[in-house]
Amino acid sequence: MSNFSKDQKTPLDSIPIKADDTSHIQIKNREVCLEECENKPCTYYCPTRVFSWRGEENRIEIDYTRCVECLACPHGCPHNNIAWSFPQGGYGVNYQN
Ligand code: SF4
Ligand code: SF4
């Protein structure tokens, strides 16, 4: 058995996941990210890289469909600047029950 190769189809491609239409993660105040958060830790403590910094647009981008509901981000943001709620889900990861 060989290691998984990046050019192979990922196992997740075989799992039907239907993401919510709207994000369950919001930035409360984008000015705080821009003006007060030097290191932007959400871009590296999220285990699935939901947050990324778009330097050319000066903003955090959120790809909420990648979230595995570990709940690290609302607690890890040093400015309490992330609003998070459980997604409706029911198809992918769902730890709330
Ligand atoms: S850690 Fe919080 S304040 Fe900093 S960039 Fe991320 S969401 Fe914004
Ligand atoms: S709950 Fe966990 S996986 Fe989801 S965005 Fe926050 S840190 Fe990332």
CA of 2 to the centre of ligand 1 (A): 39
Residue 36 lies in a domain: yes
CA distance 65 to 61: 12
Query: Would you state the pLDDT for residue 20?
Result: 82
Residue 93 lies in a domain: no
> Domain span at residue 37?
22-84
- Residue 75: CATH number of its domain: 3.30.70.20
Cβ 72 vs Cβ 46: under 8 Å: yes
Nearest CA to ligand 1 atom 3: 33
- Any bridge partners for residue 81, and if so which? none
Query: Would you state the pLDDT for residue 35?
Result: 95
For the segment 39-95, what is each residue's pLDDT rounded down to a tens digit? 999 999 999 999 999 989 999 999 998 888 899 999 999 999 999 998 876 555 655
Residue 14 lies in a domain: no
Task: Give the ligand with the smallest distance to the CA of 67.
Answer: 2
Total number of domains in the chain: 1
Task: Say which residues have a Cβ less than 8 Å from residue 53's Cβ, sequence separation at least 6.
Answer: 40, 43, 59, 60, 61
For the segment 16-39, what is each residue's pLDDT rounded down to a tens digit? 667 788 999 999 999 999 999 999
